[in-house]
Amino acid sequence: MGSFSSRYVLKLLFLLLFINPSLAYSLKNCTLDYQESPDVDVSLDCASRNLITIPDDIPRDAVSIQLYRNQIQKVNMDHFRGMSKLRHLDLGYNQIAFENNAPFTDLILLETLIMGNNNLTSVTGNMFQGLSNLIMLDLSDNKIQSIDASAVQFLISLQSLDLGNNMLQKVSDIQPILQLPKIQRLCLRFNLFSSFETKDMLGSISSLKVLNVSGHNLERFSITTPVFPYLQILDFSKIKDRNTLKWDIPDKTLLRNITQLNVNQLVFSFEEIQKVLQSLSSLKHLRLNYVDVWIKGGLLSTVCKIPTLRKLDLFYNHLSNLTWNLMPCSQLTELNLKKTHINELPQGSLQRMKKLNALHVNMNLLTKVPPDIRSLTFLQILNMDNNLITELNCEDFVNTTHLAELYLNTNHITRLDKCVVEHLTDLKLLGLSNNLLLTFGDTFKVSLQKLEILDLSQNVITILENGNFQSLQSLKQLNVASKSIQRVKRATFQGLINLEDLTLSFPLDYEPTYRGLQNLENLTILLSFVDTFKVPRSNSYEAYVHLKSLKSLAVICTGYHYGLPLDVPMQMFYAMKHLENFKAVNIYINAPKVDTFQFNPQLKNLTITSSDLSDLDPELFLPIPNLEILDFSESELTSLDFLEQADLPALRYLKVTDNNIVEINETIFNSLPSLTYLDLDNNPFTCECANVGFIQWIKENKQIQVVNAHQYKCSFPVDKQGTLLLDFDVQSCWNDGSFSYFISSTCLVVLTLLTSFIYHFLRWYLAYTFHLFLAFIYDNKMRKKVDPHQFDAFVSYNVHDEDWVYREMLPVLEGEQGWRLCLHHRDFQPGKPIMENITDAIYGSRKTICVISRHYLQSEWCSREIQMASFRLFDEQKDVLILLFLEEIPPHHLSPYYRLRKLVKKRTYLSWPQAAQHPGVFWQNVQRALQTGDVLTEDTDLLTGP
């Protein structure tokens, strides 16, 4: 505690003086989804937080809120009040049961509302009031039994509604939904319908395009009225093996727009599915999943007779050991046999599909390329990922000259000869990752003029030879990352003049050259380590000098190593004038040198993790003032003090998780004006008074979101291990003796300064106030006397105007008119305090005559006299004050003398300059003012009389 007081008081003063309560937000149970839109939209992740109610600290300007997988039971209007910008709200997987209220009234821009997996029992009342812009609504997996027409009338923009897995029993329940003007998709899977018949609906026309009417109990599907003239997709599913569905559509024209049919499980009997297929005259896309029995029974012969059919999906069927033939399906353009357990395609099964341009046989057991592929001359997409193919032959793709995308990832291919790809002149994408390729020699020296994407990652290639890719002049993306690569020769990438994205691997003791990659924008280097580190063979500057267009660089190393030479980093970045993103994982065993980024002023995103930055120098950041994202996770940091000198005005995102930070001086965040996201998770914080300022800052700050701050735990002292940082009792620090001593000392200093200020600037005002109080007491005493006035008038004037008073005023008022005047030079009692003399003169005279000139206004004593006289004027409400101006004084010159200016604006006054031609009239007006009695009337002027 000995070193606490001086630092803590500074922190406390900072909190008291600089916290701005008008900034954006503070979150306890949610985190900002920074990656989605860090500087414009507020997107919140409040999912899986064990919430029982919706947090009350959600920003009102949020555009997206994820609240799924909690234990929320109710929503009401107050939860979302004022959220007029919200567009996406996910309340799925909660326990919400609606009362008859309007919780979404303020969500005028909401487009997506997900409320699946809750406890809703009905759709009634004002549940969706205000949601006039809602496009997608998910109410699946509830207990909904009825839908009130008044509840959906607000959904005038709704296009998609999911009511699957509910308890609807009658088709008439969905009637209000079908009448919505823009509804296009409706899912009714697994409700309690026993039948779906359009005769039970009103005769209105629906705009529906996609309909899912699956169900455990559904026995009849009947369309006998033209309710769905725009229907295009029908989806039938089944889980339990119960009754089969009856198809009743006598008029085929009612289905003339159906282009896609999805059937999952044996929904129909074999005879019924044939009937269904024969009634769909416009069918283009057919999906049959988990229907092995039908295929074994020869359903494909019926399928292939559909003249309009173009796309057939048979995935998730078990076609191994089945006799099936697709030869009659010559009209197909796309065939999907994914995950059908096939180990070969029978010879001739695809031979007649001359129009086929897409074939998916991925996730199967194929050991070789099916021979029928050779006859598919119009094939453009071939996906054979995740099979057991070991060999590619020269004849495999000899006739597929139009192939544009070939996927062979995750197989067992060991060789790739030049003849395999030499005919694929239209190829744009080739995937060969996760195979057993040892080399590809001169494979890519053939003329693949259109190839743009090549993935050779995770093979067993050891050396990348010169000119391996020299003919691939259109290549934009290349991945040759592999732990087995030991050497990359200097001219490996020669000829790749259009390459934009490169991912490669090489050992720490070797560096390739990037000559010819003048358009490369993204480079990812995966380093493998050896037992002892060797200096790179090539000069670092020479290796990277060609990367002038690079925008993103990532260097990632796995395993233990002894670090990079200190001169390498600076030389790496020399030519990268446009670099915006740099990521280094497990690279630095010491912090980068201060001149590392001196040539990269455009750097915006800096990530250095799994390194040792304990000796970080703040000068490292001086050349990169535009930095917006900084990630120093797992970097052995013990403090964030380096940020105070880093000068990062644009930094918005700071992540320093998994470090050794024990204490934080919150004043450092004052040097980061743009920061909005701070992640300090998994640091060993101390729950002592040294962190009290930081704790208070977390709770008070309204600009920076401290992610998961309410979950930060204490590691020190031992008796507080495992407790929450924000639960620390800061009051115990405030009650510390040293703090009390500081407060006492501070109060004494402030009191001394205040006393000095008052004495120097306000002593006359205090004296005046004191004498006003004395005047009040004096006035009360004088009121008890029968005739308290000794004089007719007290004359208040400045010594500079004394000559005028004796020469002009006294001869007339005392000599001719006979008034008794009180003059301070003549009638003040010697030895008596001056303020007492002034008080006695004002209250001992019936009236006060103020002879006002510029000298009068500049006199401090004259100012006191007129203020006391005006106090008497308004306190007694008597006609006791006469204003006599010796000079013409503009009103704005009276502004500093606000009380006098106020009097002049409200009352008339006597002006000597204006009476210069008729002085007799002037003195007659003075006489009238002196003759006025004390009692006020409606016509009495408090300054000059009636």
The pLDDT score that the predictor gives to residue 10 is 35
- The span from the CA of 384 to the CA of 565, in Å, is 44
Rounded to whole angstroms, the Cα distance separating 7 from 659 reads: 23
Give strand ranges (E) for 46-107: 62-66, 88-90
pLDDT score, position 439: 87
pLDDT higher than 70, residue 945: no
pLDDT, position 30: 85
| Residues forming a β-bridge with 872 | none
CB environment 60-75: b (16+ within 10 A), e (fewer)? eebbbbbbbbbebebb
Question: Is there a contact between 718 and 689 (Cβ–Cβ < 8 Å)?
Answer: no
With H, G, I as helix, E, B as strand and everything else as coil, classify residue 928: helix
Which string of DSSP letters, residue by residue, matches 207-275?
Answer: ---EEE---SS--EEE--SSS-TT--EEEEE--S--PPPEEE---GGGGTT--EEEEESS-S-HHHHHH
> Which tens digit of pLDDT belongs to each residue from 705-753?
888 888 899 999 999 999 999 999 888 887 655 656 667 778 888 888 8
- Three-state DSSP string of 754-803: HHHHHHHHCHHHHHHHHHHHHHHHHHHHHHCCCCCCCEEEEEECCHHHHH
Q: pLDDT confidence of 120, banded at 50, 70, 90?
A: very high
Highest mean pLDDT among 189-193, 247-251, 327-331, 474-478: 474-478
**Of 808, 835, 833, 832, which is closest to residue 821 (Cα–Cα)?**
808
Q: Are 590 and 614 in contact (CB under 8 A)?
A: no
Between 354 and 39, the more confident residue is 354
How many Cβ atoms sit within 10 Å of the Cβ of residue 219? 14
3-state SS record for 144-203: CCEECHHHHCCCCCCCEEECCCCCCCCHHHHHHHHCCCCCCEEECCCCCCCEEEHHHCCC
Burial of 543 (0-12, 13-18, 19+ CB in 10 A): buried
| Per-residue confidence (pLDDT) for residue 912, from 0 to 100 | 85
- Give 787's pLDDT tier (boundaries 50, 70, 90): low
pLDDT at 11 over 90: no
8 Å CB contact between 481 and 524: yes
**Of 429, 414, 417, which Cα lies nearest the Cα of 459?**
414
pLDDT for residue 935: 52
Question: What are the pLDDT digits (tens) for 377-387?
Answer: 999 999 999 99
814-836 tens-digit pLDDT? 888 888 999 988 888 888 888 78
Lowest mean pLDDT among 441-455, 681-695, 760-774: 760-774
* Helix, strand, coil content of the chain in percent (nearest 5): 25, 15, 55
Residue pLDDT, tens place only, 586-618 = 988 889 989 899 999 999 999 999 999 999 999
- Residue closest to 885 by CA, chosen among 872, 895, 875, 900: 900
Identify the pLDDT of residue 874.
Answer: 63
Is residue 89 within 8 Å of 63, Cβ to Cβ?
A: no
Element (H, E) at 544: helix 540-544
| Average pLDDT over all residues of the chain | 85
Can you tell me the distance from the alpha carbon of 108 to that of 111, in angstroms, rounded to the nearest whole number? 9
> What are the residues facing 248 on neighbouring strands?
222
pLDDT tens-digit profile of 248-300?
Answer: 999 989 999 999 999 999 999 999 999 999 999 999 999 999 998 899 888 99
pLDDT-derived band at 42, boundaries 50, 70, 90: confident
**Per-residue pLDDT reduced to its tens digit, 515-525:** 888 899 999 99
Backbone angles phi, psi at 841, to 5 degrees: -65, -45
Best CA proximity match to 215, nearest among 160, 265, 152, 272: 265
Question: Residue 532: what pLDDT?
Answer: 43
Encoded amino acid at 162, one letter: D
Percentage above 90 pLDDT, the chain: 51
Burial class (CB in 10 A: 0-12, 13-18, 19+), 901: middle
pLDDT, tens digit, for every residue of 866-878?
Answer: 777 777 766 666 7
Residue-wise DSSP of 656-721? --SS------GGGGGG-TT--EEE--S--EE-SGGGHHHHHHHHH-SS-EETTGGG-BEEESGGGT
HEC profile for 363-381? CCCCCCCCHHHHHCCCCCE
Burial environment of residue 896 by CB neighbours within 10 A (0 to 12, 13 to 18, 19 or more): exposed
Q: Which of 132-141, 540-549, 619-628, 802-811 has the lowest mean pLDDT?
A: 540-549
Listed residue (697, 727, 733) closest to 713, CA to CA: 727
Phi and psi torsions of 128, nearest 5°: -115, 25
Asked whether the beta carbons of 421 and 441 are under 8 A apart, the reply is: no
Confirm if 149 and 174 have CB atoms less than 8 A apart. Answer: no
Give the model's confidence band at 391: pLDDT under 50 very low, under 70 low, under 90 confident, else very high. Answer: very high
Which of the given ranges, 673-682, 799-808, 853-862, has the highest pLDDT on average? 673-682
Residue keyed to tokens 């992640």: 679
| Sign of the C-alpha dihedral computed for residues 61, 65, 70 and 73 taken in this order | positive
Q: Residues 141-169: what's their mean pLDDT?
A: 94
**Both tokens assigned to 73:** 């039971």
For residue 901, what pLDDT is reported?
Answer: 60
CA angle 103, 107, 112 (to 5 degrees): 100
What CATH class is the domain 789-931? alpha beta
State the sign of the Cα–Cα–Cα–Cα dihedral 270, 275, 276, 278.
positive
- Report whether 231 contacts 207 (CB < 8 A): no
Q: Residue 676: count other Cβ atoms within 10 Å of its Cβ.
A: 20
Least confident of 176-185, 244-253, 690-699, 701-710: 701-710
- Per-residue model confidence (pLDDT) at position 931: 82
**Does residue 717 have a cis peptide bond before it, meaning omega lies within 30 degrees of 0?**
yes
Contact 129, 152 (CB under 8 A): no
Per-residue confidence band for 36, with pLDDT thresholds at 50, 70 and 90: very low
DSSP-assigned letter for residue 724? B
Cα–Cα distance measured from residue 301 to residue 324, given in angstroms and rounded to the nearest whole number:
9
Q: How do residues 891-917 score in pLDDT, each as one tens digit?
A: 766 655 545 666 665 566 788 888 877
Q: Cα(424)–Cα(449) distance, rounded to whole angstroms?
A: 10
More confident residue, 447 or 97: 97
Q: At what angle do helices 860-876 and 763-783 cross, to 10 degrees?
A: 40
pLDDT digits (tens, 9 = 90+) for 847-868: 889 888 888 888 877 777 777 7
Which segment of 116-130, 632-646, 752-766, 812-826 scores lowest on mean pLDDT?
A: 752-766
DSSP string, 386-404: SS------TTTTSS-TT--
Question: Predicted confidence band at 34 (pLDDT cuts at 50, 70, 90)?
Answer: low
Q: How confident is the model at residue 20 (pLDDT cuts 50, 70, 90)?
A: very low
- What is the distance between the alpha carbons of residues 550 and 558, in angstroms, rounded to a whole number? 24
Block residue for tokens 């959906």: 152
Of 111-125, 365-379, 818-832, the poorest mean pLDDT is in 818-832
Confidence of residue 944 (pLDDT cuts 50, 70, 90): very low
Lowest mean pLDDT among 428-442, 685-699, 737-751, 914-928: 737-751
The rounded distance, in Å, linking the Cα atoms of 632 and 659 is 9
